[in-house]
């Protein structure tokens, strides 16, 4: 009881009344990081992921744009040496008629059997091996011969494909070729000279371009033609760049190479 006229206590700690009053105090435990810290941490993780992906993409670009060219150049040299060695150790195929190349057998899949020369783009296509087939492994070693097409010099369509970008990119400068340019094909039996007539950009599904008579499905061929195919644009593959030409000359191997062609300069 507080005496009348005296001031009331200034605090409830029981000092004036002799009674201790306990006031509970809530003590909080450790709290998590502030929202800002969590956000910064998440952004950091995402940033590291993007950096890693960027490095991987850069390595992939280096591999595609540079290293595949290095590997393919070595593979091309190996195939070139294999063809040359075979020709040197086996007799030259002679023709039944003087001055004309003999007949070569259709090669096995994956086997090199000819060399391609295009003076207009000779820094890339000079003594370039022509290999039977058009698989990715074949095109990494040289130009691929469409197996359903004619052999060099034969009546029909001698059709070949090559990369325009990566894997030594033999047909990189196909857009520099002009009508009237010559293409030379060397086999064990002889030399074949083709003149290019025209080009066309088509869809990948337009397989008629390598028919014995291009654009004709059932017509019987009467001429010896050549077709060059590659991707277009250079860094894509949703189109195909096609060159067509015709045979103008065929000579036996014993007559030597055409004027201006030095097979050993490759």
Look at residue 266 in the predicted model and tell me its pLDDT. 61
The region of weakest confidence among 57-71, 123-137, 207-221, 239-253 is: 57-71
Tokens of 110: 């994956």
Strands (E), 156-223: 156-161, 182-187, 190-202
Residue 189 confidence (pLDDT) above 80? yes
How far from chain centre, in Å, is Cα 76?
A: 15
Higher per-residue pLDDT: 60 or 193:
193
Percentage with pLDDT > 70 across the chain = 74
- Confidence at 57, pLDDT banded by 50, 70, 90: low
- Confidence at 254, pLDDT banded by 50, 70, 90: confident
Residue 7 confidence (pLDDT) above 60? no
Give the residues across from 184 on adjacent strands. Answer: 117, 193
Segment 109-124, tens digit of pLDDT: 999 999 999 999 999 9
Q: Provide CB contacts within 8 A for 33, sequence distance 6+.
A: 41
Domains of the chain: 66-265 (2.40.260.10)
Asked if the bond preceding 241 is cis, omega within 30° of 0, the reply is: no
Give the residues across from 172 on adjacent strands. Answer: none
How far from chain centre, in Å, is Cα 97?
A: 43
How far from 241 is each of 126, 156, 214, 227, 237, CA to CA, in Å? 20, 20, 14, 10, 10
* Mean pLDDT for the stretch of residues 256-261: 90
- Using DSSP bridges, classify how beta strands 239-252 and 190-202 pair: parallel, antiparallel or unpaired: antiparallel
Look at residue 25 in the predicted model and tell me its pLDDT. 54
Look at residue 228 in the predicted model and tell me its pLDDT. 98
Residue 262 confidence (pLDDT) above 50? yes
The region of weakest confidence among 48-52, 109-113, 120-124, 248-252 is: 48-52
* Mean pLDDT for the stretch of residues 26-40: 63
Q: Which residues are catalytic?
A: 163, 231, 240
Assess contact for 170 and 156: CB atoms under 8 A.
no
Q: How far apart are CA 10 and CA 2, in angstroms?
A: 13
Q: How far apart are CA 203 and CA 69, in angstroms?
A: 26
Look at residue 69 in the predicted model and tell me its pLDDT. 87
- C-alpha triplet 39, 42, 46: angle, nearest 5°: 140
Q: How far apart are CA 254 and CA 208, in angstroms?
A: 36
Segment 221-239, tens digit of pLDDT: 999 999 999 999 998 889 9
Look at residue 173 in the predicted model and tell me its pLDDT. 97
Counting beta carbons within 10 angstroms of the beta carbon of residue 91, is it exposed (0 to 12), middle (13 to 18) or buried (19 or more)? exposed
Tokens of 71: 């590997």
In the three-class reduction of DSSP (H, G, I as helix; E, B as strand; rest coil), residue 127 is classed as: strand
The region of weakest confidence among 29-33, 96-100, 164-168, 261-265 is: 29-33
Segment 136-177, tens digit of pLDDT: 999 999 999 999 999 999 999 999 999 999 999 999 999 999
- Confidence at 92, pLDDT banded by 50, 70, 90: confident
- In angstroms, the first-to-last Cα distance of the chain is 120
* Mean pLDDT for the stretch of residues 63-79: 82
């Amino acid at each position: 009881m507080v005496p009348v006229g005296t001031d009331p206590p200034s605090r409830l700690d029981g000092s004036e009344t002799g009674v201790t009053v306990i006031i509970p105090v809530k003590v909080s435990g450790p709290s998590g990081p502030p929202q800002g810290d969590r956000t910064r941490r998440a952004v950091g993780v995402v940033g590291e992921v993007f950096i890693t992906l960027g490095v991987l993409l850069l390595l992939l670009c280096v591999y595609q744009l540079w290293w595949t060219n290095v590997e393919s150049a070595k593979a091309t040299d190996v195939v070139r040496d294999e063809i040359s060695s075979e020709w040197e150790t086996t007799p030259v195929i002679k023709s039944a008629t003087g001055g004309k190349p003999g007949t070569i057998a259709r090669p096995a899949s994956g086997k090199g059997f000819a060399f391609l020369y295009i003076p207009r783009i000779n820094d890339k296509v000079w003594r370039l091996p022509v290999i039977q087939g058009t698989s990715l492994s074949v095109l990494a070693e040289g130009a691929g011969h469409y197996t359903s097409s004619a052999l060099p010099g034969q009546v029909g369509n001698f059709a070949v494909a090559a990369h325009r970008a990566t894997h030594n990119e033999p047909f990189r400068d196909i857009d520099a070729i002009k009508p009237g340019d010559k293409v030379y094909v060397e086999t064990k039996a002889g030399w074949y000279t083709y003149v290019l007539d025209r080009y066309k950009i088509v869809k990948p599904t337009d397989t008629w371009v390598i028919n014995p008579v291009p654009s004709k499905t059932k017509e019987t061929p009467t001429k010896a033609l050549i077709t060059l195919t590659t991707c277009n644009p250079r860094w894509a593959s949703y189109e195909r760049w096609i060159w067509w030409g015709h045979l103008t000359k065929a000579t036996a191997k014993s007559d030597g190479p055409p004027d201006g062609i030095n097979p050993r300069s490759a």
